[in-house]
Chains A and B, each alone.
Chain A
Amino acid sequence: MKVLHIARNTFRECVRDKVLYNLVIFAVLIIVSSLILGAITIGDVKQIIINLGLSTISLFGTLIAIFIGIQLVHKEIDKKTVYSLLSKPVARHEFILGKYLGLSMTLAVNVCVMILGVYSAILYLRHSFQASDVQILLAGVLILIELMLVIAIALLFSTFSTPALSALFAFCLYIIGHFNTDIRQYGLSSDSWVTKVVAGAMYYLLPNFGNFDIISRTAHGQFITSDIYLFAATYGLIYSLGLLFIAMWIFRKRDFK
């Protein structure tokens, strides 16, 4: 219950901070693209709209997740509000979990509205939907889970580092997470067993953002089996949970004196 209170307040704070204003930029981008793309390219405009829409959802979401995520704990400490909060019967892990859920809720609203925008653009272009269009919604869910993982990363760093360094670490981890498969391949093709072991360990330890990479396939209307969604979603949630546990543990040990 306390977790939900903190989450609701974090959500309100994000709204007050005008985080959702990015929806206006998204709306303008989608409307303009729908109107002009047909004139400047050859081929399937719907496919471009889906690519553009889902990539924008992911990029905007990542920026929000990192820049707001790193502020979640630091702002409370900086403004000293954390003292009054933790002096109440609120456990430290509840504080971390509430902050995490609050930003996740904000991004969930963001993703939902943006997905609706993509569907509206498709309806404007094609005047109807195809059965494969349901995959856009599923891609949206997977992007949200990817963003929840990014929030967990940002939140983890923010429990022990400064905002600037936390942003840097989170960005680095996000980028490395996209090269995870390459690290694995490098290890497998190496003759040195040390390289093999280190690359293998990094492959499993670092977050693999490649698991959420389904935008292109969704745009092409290719059938994606339910196990791919399910495994990717489960991976994202379990990994996020693991990071949250570490964040809670660090925050519990932190001395505010």
Chain B
Amino acid sequence: MNAVLLALLLLSGTGVYWIQNAIDARVGLFRSTEEALYLPSGKVIKMLSLGHSGLLADVYWMRAVQYYGGKRLKDEKRFDLLDPLIGIATTLDPQLIHAYRFGAIFLSERSPIGAEQPEKAVVLLKEGIKHNPDEWPLYRDLGFVYYWYVKDYRKGAEAFLEGSKNPKSAAWMKTFAAELMAKGGSRESARFLWQQFYGTADTEQMKRNAKENLLRLQALDEMDILQDFISKIEVRLGRPVESIEELVKLGLLKHHPLDPKGFTYTYNPQTRNVQLSPQSTVRRF
């Protein structure tokens, strides 16, 4: 009798597993996340939450993170649900600071890393500031989104300046606002800003992102130096240089220069530009 029951149990378990996979294959594994599109608004969900809006906000924020991560893993370029999911999470809990901060990064980053919707990130951060005026990092992030993604240096400087009025804010924000007004989108400003982000990052993800951008700036500097060097050699040789290997063979370079991730730089004789290797993992934008 026990053996029959056990066999039936195994059979039903296998059946459930098989049918569930069949359903997932037809309607999609992440359908619960996609259903968020049909929800009326965060305000309605908040009303229906019966006092548990904080927990629901956490659930929606987790869904947003999973949605973003899932899209990144699949290398998909569309993030249609990202903004609605973050919007619901922050409406349910307007004090959910990390949803504003990370949400703004996810929305701003260029495709395929992010949704490439910096204008939505600006709206999100302004909403965060409205509900949490004492959270100076939100001003810093808003200034950063204006500066780095929207390329509106005046508005960026205004946001940094506004945030710097908070006594708890980082001391560099005021000076950076002035620098941004004067120099706009220079590479030195970018390096300074990323160094500040790297030094004050709250989480490992933020620190890693800042480091990647610092390495990119380092690569840009090195490519400029190499470009300048090749131009001078071409003048000396009286002919165009074909490749970086040629410079090594001529003894003008000790070895093939490497980018910060250890990949070789390449030289395109047609465009006469030093470039990152196609295999390089250094960020390109």
Which of A5-13, A41-49, A122-130 touches B? A41-49
B162 beta carbon closer than 8 Å to chain A: no
Binary interface encoding of chain A residues 50-84 relative to chain B, with 1 for a CB under 8 A from any of its CBs, else 0: 01100100110000000000000000000000000
Question: With contacts A182-B47, A216-B93 known, is A42 near B54, CB below 8 A?
Answer: no
Q: For residue B98, which residues in chain A have a CB less than 8 angstroms away from its CB?
A: 42-44
Counting CB contacts under 8 A, is B61 at the interface?
Answer: yes
Q: Binding site of B, secondary structure by majority: helix, strand, loop or mixed?
A: helix
- Chain A residue numbers with a CB within 8 Å of B61 are 41, 43
Out of B52, B62, B96, B203, name the residue touching A215 (CB < 8 Å): B52
Residue on A nearest B106 in the bound complex, by CB: A42
Q: Interface majority SS on A: helix, strand, loop or mixed?
A: helix
Question: Which one, A47, A58, A209, contacts B58 given CB within 8 A?
Answer: A47
The docked-state distance in angstroms from the alpha carbon of A234 to that of B93 is 27
CB distance from A190 to the nearest CB of B (A): 18
**In chain A, what residue has the closest Cβ to B49?**
A178
Task: Encode contact with A along B62-81: 1 for CB under 8 Å, 0 otherwise.
Answer: 10011000000000000000
State whether B54 touches A216 (Cβ < 8 A). yes
Q: Interface 1/0s, chain A 15-49, versus B by CB < 8 A? A: 00000000000000000000000001111100110
Contact A51 B58 (CB under 8 A): yes
Residue B13 interfacial (CB < 8 Å): no
Chain A residues with CB under 8 A of B115: none
B201: shortest Cβ distance to chain A, in Å?
A: 12
A213 within 8 A of partner (CB): yes
Identity of the chain A residue whose Cβ is nearest the Cβ of B52 in the assembled complex: A55
Whether the Cβ atoms of A216 and B53 lie closer than 8 Å is: yes
A179 near B: Cβ within 8 Å?
yes
Q: How far is the CA of A209 from the CA of B49 in the complex (A)?
A: 12
In the complex the two chains form, what is the Cα distance from A43 to B102 in whole Å? 9
Asked if A219 CB lies within 8 Å of chain B CBs, one says: yes
Closest to B94 in A: A216
User: A77 vs B53: C-alpha distance in the bound complex, in angstroms?
Assistant: 40
Question: Residue A2 at the B interface, CB < 8 A?
Answer: no
Residue from A40, A42, A219 whose CB has the most chain B CB atoms within 10 Å: A42
B54 and A59 within 8 A (CB): no
B51 interface contact, C-beta 8 A: yes
Q: Is there a chain A Cβ closer than 8 Å to B99's Cβ?
A: yes
Smallest CB–CB gap between B29 and chain A, Å? 15
Q: Smallest CB-CB separation from A214: which chain B residue?
A: B51
Q: Is B95 an interface residue (CB 8 A)?
A: yes
Contacts of B248 in A (CB 8 A): none
> Least Cβ distance of A7 to chain B in Å?
28
- Shortest B96–chain A CB gap in Å is 8
- Whether A175 sits at the interface, judged by CB under 8 Å, is yes
Do A41 and B62 touch across chains, with their CB atoms under 8 A apart?
yes
CB–CB B47/A220 < 8 A: no
Q: How far is the CA of A215 from the CA of B93 in the complex (A)?
A: 11
* Docked complex: B27-59 residues within 8 A CB-CB of A: 47, 50-55, 57-58
* A242 on the B face (CB < 8 A): no
B54 & A40 in contact (Cβ 8 Å cutoff)? no
Contacts of B279 in A (CB 8 A): none
A219 engages B54 (CB within 8 Å): yes
**Cβ contacts under 8 Å, A174 to chain B:** 50
Q: Report the bound CA distance from A112 to B280 in whole Å.
A: 56
Decide if A203 is an interface residue (CB 8 Å cutoff): no
Contacts of B96 in A (CB 8 A): 43
Query: In the bound complex, how far is the Cα of B102 from the Cα of A59, in angstroms?
Result: 30
Selected from A40, A42, A48, A215, the residue in CB contact (under 8 A) with B51 is A215
Q: Which residues of B contact A58 (CB under 8 A)?
A: 51-52
A residues sitting closer than 8 Å to B (CB atoms) are 40-44, 47-48, 51-52, 55, 58-59, 174-175, 178-179, 182, 209-210, 212-213, 215-216, 219-220, 222
Other A-B pairs beyond A43-B98, A209-B51, A216-B93, 8, CB < 8 Å = A40-B65, A41-B62, A42-B102, A43-B96, A43-B203, A174-B50, A210-B51, A213-B51
A-B contact pairs, 24 of them (CB 8 A): A40-B62, A40-B66, A41-B62, A41-B65, A42-B98, A42-B203, A43-B61, A43-B99, A47-B58, A51-B54, A51-B55, A51-B57, A55-B54, A55-B55, A59-B52, A175-B50, A179-B47, A209-B50, A209-B51, A213-B51, A216-B53, A216-B57, A216-B95, A220-B95
